[in-house]
Amino acid sequence: MASMFMAPTFSLLSVNRSSSGCRKPDCTPRQYHAITMRIEKPLEELYNVRVERQVSPKRLEELGVSRWSIWKTGKSRLPWDWHVDQLVYIEEGEVRVVPDGSKKYMQFVAGDLVRYPKWFEADLFFNGPYQERYRFRAYGDD
């Protein structure tokens, strides 16, 4: 299942050239709301969560992922807060990440490499078997 929070496919300048021809002074409030909702920043950007989708074996080798610690779970909900930056490679399953105080979520699936920033708080929802490899990042790691 693809994430519903994808990067906008157009720039702010293209709003005035949309197929509806809607410009702020010409729009109904409903049309303007629909346009502004489409250009809202993705949650990953708002919360500084970085994700690389479908990471290549070469990239995994460069990072040494095979030597990272393993964590597994089944269907569950887990409230979590990160006290350090953490890098996670999802080997199996998927996770919905609901940032503290948000009604929206990010979704990450097997093959994704996710970096959670220090002090990030969220509820994690696992719909079935899940396995990840993880490592904590030291200051200055990139």
What are 52-64's pLDDT values in tens digits?
A: 999 999 999 999 9
CATH 2.60.120.10 fits 43-136, yes or no: yes
SS3 content of the chain, % helix, strand, coil (to 5): 25, 35, 45
What are 94-115's pLDDT values in tens digits?
A: 999 999 999 999 999 999 999 9
pTM for the model stands at 0.70
- What residue spans define the domains of the chain? 43-136
Give the distance from CA 120 to its chain's centroid. 12
Give the total residue count for the chain.
142
Res. 31: pLDDT tops 80: no
